[in-house]
Chains A and B, each alone.
Chain A
Amino acid sequence: GAVVSQHPSWVICKSGTSVKIECRSLDFQATTMFWYRQFPKQSLMLMATSNEGSKATYEQGVEKDKFLINHASLTLSTLTVTSAHPEDSSFYICSARSGKDYNEQFFGPGTRLTVL
């Protein structure tokens, strides 16, 4: 099956710093990538959808200036959490969808962010 990787798998940073998370599709071209956030004991919450080469579409309530998304190529999308605060601590998961099959999303392993 298709493989999606994320890096780093966990990160601890100080409040006020920025953190970049990478999401890569390893064996397919991802025309669309999704970024999710999951707080403990809650379900996945879609933050934004990005299509290669165009601006990301953010969900209501997600600050686009705080969560910068770049989908520069068909195999790489990045999420940058700018000026991170403790309330941004969460599990961030990306998923990718190829242009061939609209029905399936392949998930990365997730990145656990802890902001001190």
Chain B
Amino acid sequence: GQNIDQPTEMTATEGAIVQINCTYQTSGFNGLFWYQQHAGEAPTFLSYNVLDGLEEKGRFSSFLSRSKGYSYLLLKELQMKDSASYLCAVLDSNYQLIWGAGTKLIIKP
């Protein structure tokens, strides 16, 4: 079966750095997405990785290792507005998004 695992909840301090991990087992792989979702809102796109390595975009970076079935989202200089759920999703061989359950990130002052 297809499976995506990420921690349910994480807590971090404003100004700090946090890494959210995601491991996956899917039928085929056409890329991995990270989305941010604030409560009551639709997901917004953060990053897309299809090749191994680190993609940096401002305060957010995303890493992928296809051989390990592993990705992480790194958030630097945390701000209170970063409190949200972070969803990991894999595009499988049918170009269908398989979603993780999301990681709720709580930022404390």
Contact = CB atoms under 8 A, between A and B. Distances in A.
State yes or no: do A and B come from one complex.
Answer: yes
B45 A103 contact: no
Interface residues on A, range: 10 to 19
Interface residues of B, number: 19
Interface in B67-101: 87, 91, 95-97, 99-101
Given A43-B101, A44-B87, A103-B30, A110 B42 contact: yes
The interface residues of chain B, by DSSP majority, are classed as loop
B42 A108 contact: yes
Nearest to A94: B42
B50 interface: yes
A110 B100 contact: no
Interface of B: 30-31, 40-45, 48, 50, 87, 91, 95-97, 99-102
27 contacts: A34-B97, A42-B101, A43-B100, A43-B102, A44-B87, A44-B99, A45-B99, A46-B96, A46-B97, A49-B96, A91-B40, A93-B42, A93-B43, A102-B30, A102-B95, A103-B50, A103-B91, A103-B95, A104-B45, A106-B45, A107-B42, A107-B43, A107-B44, A109-B41, A109-B42, A110-B40, A112-B40
